[in-house]
Every structure is written in structure tokens, then in C-alpha cells.
């Protein structure tokens, strides 16, 4: 199944690239690697705010991370000239989870993004290295921020 068939089967429509909130580019490419800048979680066009372990639970955090993955794929699509079939593999994610000091399930929150990428790109192209950190704050009070590195043709 091609990537776009999988997106359609999952009822996912990729958004356009968001305008950066500060002085950075949404993506950069060097050689065959595309680096997608950190994307914060949003819900209904607004920052998806919250702190894991205080105002949000792991399941809601996973939903937010999944939403970030959809935004990341929209930006990745723009970075590869509109054709996600040019993606050879997702190389790495780095996830920053806005969480309390005693919250320890950042890795489970980030599964919301990782599992969706594996569904869309398949087990070979979608499997990736990953880091998931708990942080005191994320820009605009968002609950999750994730950046992505992909290898492209």
C-alpha cells in the first residue's frame, strides 16, 4: 500500500506547512537528510496546552503526539516537493513532553507519534530512532513538541 493510500485509509488529511513562530526555517535539507523543525501540538488551530501528570494523562498526551506527527508529515511533504513516496525512511524523532517532575511516561506519550509514522510509512520506513524528554515547559504552553529527521531519495 502506498503512503497516500494509507493516509486515506486512516482518514488523515495533511495540513500545509505552518508559519514558523520565531526565527527559523520549518525544514532544512542537507544531502539525503531532511530535518523538520520542532512542531508543537495544536488542537482546532490553537496550541494544545497542558502539562502531563497535572492537567493531562498519558492517553491524551498520545493523542497530542499523534496530532504533531500529522503536522510533521505535512511539513515533510512540502520538504520533498509534495511527494512523500520520496521518503526512504524516518530516521529519528526527538520529543519534548511538557510534564511534571514526577511524570515518567514521556516514552509512552511519544508512542502516539511513533506508532502513526509506522502505520503510514510501514514497519521498515517508519521505524526510527527516538529520544523522549520530560521538560518544564514547551513554547506557547503546548503539551508536546516533536522534531523529525528523514532520509529521502
Question: For 129-148, how does the pLDDT look when each residue is reduced to its tens digit (9 = 90+)?
Answer: 999 999 999 999 999 999 99
Average pLDDT (30-43) is 98
Residue 4 has pLDDT above 70, yes or no: yes
Confidence (pLDDT) at 140: 95
Domains of the chain: 3-12+27-152 (3.30.1330.40)
Question: For 61-100, how does the pLDDT look when each residue is reduced to its tens digit (9 = 90+)?
Answer: 999 999 999 999 999 999 999 999 999 999 999 999 999 9
Residue 1 has pLDDT above 90, yes or no: no
| Residue 132 β-bridge partners | 95
CB 107 within 8 A of CB 72: no
Question: Which stretches within the chain are classed as H helix?
Answer: 3-9, 58-79, 106-126
Residues 6+ apart with CB under 8 A from 90: 117, 121, 125, 126, 127, 128, 148, 149, 150
Band of residue 22 on the pLDDT scale cut at 50, 70, 90: very high
Band of residue 21 on the pLDDT scale cut at 50, 70, 90: confident
Whether the CA torsion 30, 32, 9, 107 is positive or negative: it is negative
In the chain, the percentage of residues whose pLDDT exceeds 90 is: 96
Residues 6+ apart with CB under 8 A from 8: none
Between residues 28 and 18, the one the model is more confident about: 28
Distances (CA, A) of 141 to 17, 69, 94, 111, 125: 20, 18, 18, 21, 32
User: What is the C-alpha separation between 64 and 49, in angstroms, rounded?
Assistant: 10
Average pLDDT (50-55) is 98
Amino acid at each position: 500500500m502506498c503512503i497516500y493510500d494509507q493516509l486515506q485509509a486512516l482518514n488523515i488529511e495533511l495540513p500545509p506547512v505552518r508559519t514558523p513562530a520565531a526565527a527559523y526555517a520549518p525544514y532544512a535539507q542537507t544531502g539525503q537528510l531532511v530535518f523538520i523543525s520542532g512542531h508543537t501540538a495544536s488542537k482546532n488551530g490553537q496550541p494544545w496546552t497542558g502539562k502531563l501528570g497535572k492537567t493531562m494523562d498519558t492517553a491524551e498526551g498520545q493523542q497530542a503526539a499523534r496530532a504533531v506527527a500529522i503536522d510533521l508529515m505535512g511539513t515533510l511533504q512540502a520538504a520533498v516537493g509534495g511527494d512523500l513516496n520520496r521518503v526512504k525512511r524516518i530516521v529519528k524523532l526527538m520529543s519534548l513532553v511538557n510534564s511534571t517532575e514526577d511524570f515518567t511516561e514521556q516514552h509512552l506519550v511519544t508512542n502516539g507519534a511513533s506508532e502513526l509514522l509506522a502505520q503510514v510509512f510501514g514497519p521498515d520506513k517508519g521505524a526510527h530512532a527516538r529520544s523522549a524528554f520530560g521538560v518544564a515547559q514547551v513554547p506557547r504552553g503546548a503539551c508536546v513538541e516533536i522534531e523529525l529527521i528523514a532520509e529521502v531519495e
